[in-house]
Structure 1
Amino acid sequence: MYPFWPIWNAQGRSARFPSVKLVSITAGAAQPSSSRRLGDLLAQSTRAALADRGCSADVEHVELHTLAGDLATALTQRQVSDALGQAQEAVLSADGVIAVTPVYNGSYSGLFKLFFDALDPRALIGRPMLLGATGGSPRHSLMVEHAMLPLFSFLKADVSPLAVFAATADWVDTAELDFRIARAADAFALRMTQARPLKELPEAAVPSYDDLLHG
């Protein structure tokens, strides 16, 4: 069923499950990649922030470079491989999703977009998300706002207000990056622990063509 969220009690801990599930989706093409590194740090920090709120978290990592061929097949032949199906199911069962992409030509990578193109368009409705991106220059930092945010707003995800962009220089002295990661993770954890099931909205009352002609 769509959408799917945990039900939280007054203390902020999931009343339905003993722990919550985080899924970190990273689109780095290299091995190792800065996108995977950022995704790991965001997941670790979110896990710690949830623990501070009395909630444990299991983390599952989805590296999209391992699914490149599967994604192409899914979109051209409408065949979903077992590996891709498992990744999609991970998103559907997640209480929170972290999504990190490298910046390619001023936007998210094609591999990143392929995954969300292949995902059920209802899968992210109301689901808490934390966005991250990596790039060579700080001038690419606005990519999150002008490319990623519109994508996930269209998919009706519950996007956390604080994203994290990591430029190459940020990995040299990580003190400032660590601060931004911790701040974003704390806001994301708060968003997750305040999540509530969304009631289905009734379909809009659209007049029939006959009503329009005779109205």
Structure 2
Amino acid sequence: MKLLVVSAGVSLPSSTRLLADRLAAATAPAATAPEPAPAGIHVLELRDLAGEIAHTFTNGFPEQKLSAAFDAVRAADGLIAVTPVFSASYSGLFKSFFDALGATDDSALAGKPVLIAATGGTARHSLVLDHALRPLFAHLKAVVVPTGVYAASEDWGAAGLEQRVRRAAGELAALMSGVSGTRPALQRDSFAHVTPFEERLAALSPGPGPGPDEAPGTSQT
């Protein structure tokens, strides 16, 4: 089981990297719960690839380190993508990496489970998860887990952040482990009490008109 973490933090130390590490630590054990070995975790620090990312748009192809990073994305069973908030959206470095990935291989993230997360100075930017990151990864055909994690400055050390981390990590681990594919199929008897659609439609369809013993506007049951 391979878990890839993409961190777009640019400072040292980086709260973006700290959040990424928390998410990875919570995901790895859950993703391999029945197995003796933990999930392999690989971290991509995008600031180390900034030059090659920029060159990709002028050269038309990724250089050695960036090409290896794209290979890591393709090989991963799940992805944790974390960005700082710049101008109420993801950072330019974060977007450029995934733009370059999509230009090189537009199916690299197709069907891949992705956990999205972001850090910012204020809780007012928490909507970046739904207004920016989800549309980006939907365009890349990824499967984004329901819970995104946003950490504002005041969230660090708060119980709410840890709860969101655990919930999102559990959702990513479930997708990585293929839990949805192991659910038992519903039995036909489970629907025995449901009226078939055709019968419901027939009951709603108007008849030829009221009979001699039935006044207009009434119905018999």
Give the secondary-structure state (helix, strand or coil) at the position aligned to 1:126. coil
1:57, distance to aligned residue in structure 2 (A): 0.5
Query: Which amino acid is 2:50 matched to?
Result: A
Quote the residue 1:152 is aligned against.
137
Quote the residue 1:22 is aligned against.
3
1:163 aligned to which of 145, 148, 156: 148
C-alpha change, 1:181 and 1:154, in structure 2 (3 Å) is: same
Quote the residue 1:178 is aligned against.
162
Q: Percent identity?
A: 47
1:101 aligned to which of 54, 58, 83: 83
1:18-38 CA distance string (max 9 Å, x none): xx0000001011111111111
Quote the residue 1:3 is aligned against.
none
Moved over 4 A (4+): none
Q: Distance in 2 between matches of 1:113 and 1:174?
A: 29
2:64 aligned to which of 82, 85, 104: 82
1:1-215 correspondence runs (5 A): 20-54=1-35, 56-119=38-101, 120-171=105-156, 173-194=157-178
1:73-125 CA distance string (max 9 Å, x none): 01111242211111111001000011000111111000001101111211000
Give the secondary-structure state (helix, strand or coil) at the position aligned to 1:156. coil
Q: Distance in 2 between matches of 1:144 and 1:128?
A: 16
Give the secondary-structure state (helix, strand or coil) at the position aligned to 1:132. strand
Q: Distance in 2 between matches of 1:110 and 1:142?
A: 17
Query: Which amino acid is 1:153 matched to?
Result: A
Give the aligned length: 177
TM-score (normalised: structure 2):
0.76
Q: Distance in 1 between matches of 2:140 and 2:34?
A: 28
Q: Distance in 1 between matches of 2:90 and 2:10?
A: 12
Contact 2:32 2:177 (C-alpha < 8 Å) held by counterparts: no
The structure number with the bigger radius of gyration is 2
1:147-192 CA distance string (max 9 Å, x none): 0000111111011111100001111x23221111011101111111
Higher fraction of helix: 2
Give the secondary-structure state (helix, strand or coil) at the position aligned to 1:52. coil
CA RMSD of aligned residues (A): 1.6
1:40-68 CA distance string (max 9 Å, x none): 11111001212334373100000001111
Q: Distance in 2 between matches of 1:48 and 1:115?
A: 28
Q: Distance in 1 between matches of 2:179 and 2:72?
A: 18
Which one scores higher on RCO, CA 8 angstroms, separation ≥ 6? 1
Structure 2 gap ranges (5+): 182-221
1:112-151 CA distance string (max 9 Å, x none): 0110111121100000100000000011001000000001
TM-score (normalised: structure 1):
0.79
Query: Which amino acid is 1:189 matched to?
Result: A
Query: Which amino acid is 2:127 matched to?
Result: L
Give the secondary-structure state (helix, strand or coil) at the position aligned to 1:162. coil
Q: Distance in 2 between matches of 1:115 and 1:79?
A: 13
Q: Distance in 2 between matches of 1:129 and 1:89?
A: 16
